[in-house]
Structure 1
């Protein structure tokens, strides 16, 4: 690779005797991974039907490496949300956030959604996940991945942390900041990042990182956990940032995470000798199978109480939704219903008042009211199981009809008339409507197989 001299000089200073070993890692192929989505399938069950050659990612209980010649994004199981494709180093931050079912979690810089979907699986449908990206264009990918993975208790927003400071003061007990950074750990995976690195000085990113962290305390409850991560090697964006935050926030301290499987200590010599940053984690590409990451786990210990709003009175869905459930499902749909712009949602319990914030999705989108009828959404399908539907068309993963469905094509198949859940090996892909011998395709255009 044609790497800038200023970058090479910096890495020599940083790595010293390990510099040559680090540079040799650029000759290796890209490290690629996927993470099983346990909202849909257990790891054990996935391995029984898995079509790829996989090896375990040691720091993520649901993560696996796959071979470079594999194409998991082109398999029907990907479109059923059974796994998420994610660089293995990037699996660590959400793991050490230690999310538990029922937590109130904020993923602040979330797009395209890898860490959000990991958190969503750990919540197991309980609690609340607010996932944000500051760029509206990036929330499209974030939203699709939330819905693809069948996450029902996520609020997708497009805002800045100042907005959350007003509406979610001391609300969250788990916060993840995968901060914007210079992306040095992406050079091998995406060489175009080198040009971006040359255009933008690291000081510009460190100013953004400091600004985000300077405001995060306002949204964190008294006994809470914060994970800060980047995919860069620069101490100016890593140890120095954490040192500065700790100096200004006495209620916080770093948390020791076991350093095994090639995980290394933070570099205190680049943070004014602050030994607290040695508890941080560095993932170096010459020490393990991954592109590289920096992760800091911080614990807040104070008496601030989380501000949970009183529950609104329960809303009932319109009769047309109840009729849809009666005619098409074997299950009842429970939760706090809310109608927003003719769309019907189930919103998470204890949802804060997000007035003034651009909300992209307010929970589990069930569908849309159209005059006197209800039309189900793709998100609704992805949050169900095949047993929930009265009419199911189930294809095997190697059936050509799967690709036809994912391309939005009409399929000729005999079945009972009505709304039908289309599945691959009993895992939902989306809706269709049986009309005679024709299965009218409702797979959404933006999701279609290209």
Structure 2
């Protein structure tokens, strides 16, 4: 199910599809394994296109952990404005007292997710991308996680010269700092892109945790699966809404998968496990089904919504990104492509076009981005449309380029 199996550079292949093709050519068997298969893959298995073998219990027959969902809106009403809910705080204290290990998951690196002036309201943004800069405490820098741009942390507002600078949001660096301060724990291991940049650093962190040099491991998605530590009896999901709020039709699926995967790190030994999920959307079906360890319930709900809205596995989709350094040129060319596609799609009743519109992230590395989405019940129809587009437009103009992603794993 992992979306990183899709290459984001040309050719934009999906590793699973390449493996399937290779196995067909070689007459080999292919085993796809996941505790939370993608909706498309599980649908293929349920409809008989793929064989299905299910593991109905944990390998060692240990109990699945109890999952508690905490409504952070109620925490605010009760006066708790910290990173840690009352419930998670109590669970952490109990875990430390019993000398068990714990994992805290937050899929945002850095210290603060954005920095703003309280006087004029300006947010420090990347000059090359349409996103806010993330504050990293180690080197006192504001960093763009898309293009790598860095600038010194401002002491005064660049617009109004006020010194009333405020740091908002929580990343793994801030989580580590606040945890040590609140619980008086010196030894905490953090695993994210910033702590694993050196060769073998990833394994070094895990080895330290295994040797019990620290009983607290916190980090981003890289700690969410594949880890098997029998003394981990508590998992805390600090902000379950991180992926849920993305403008992507797979956001609910990603949210369910990540909660289910990281929950599975708790209670893998002889001790019972516990999971606490903090969220501002406790009623969302992805979180509720994850709380119940109910993949099939989530699958049925998500499948129904995908069918109603016309998304995979019922439709194949293509995301066409038009990008360039001059915004007006990008918009003009996007409209030209849109008109061309209208003529091509006219002969295909099972195809439709959405857009053009500015992409969710409208500028990356000084290139403005617009997108057009094409959907069809038939992947062959979609491919015919895309071939005509490529024959007509090639890879774009000299100052504007086109990128076509068939069945994208991300809509950003």
TM-score range (shorter-chain normalised) is under 0.3
TM-score by length of 1: 0.25
Q: Which has the higher contact order (CA 8 A, sep 6+)?
A: 2
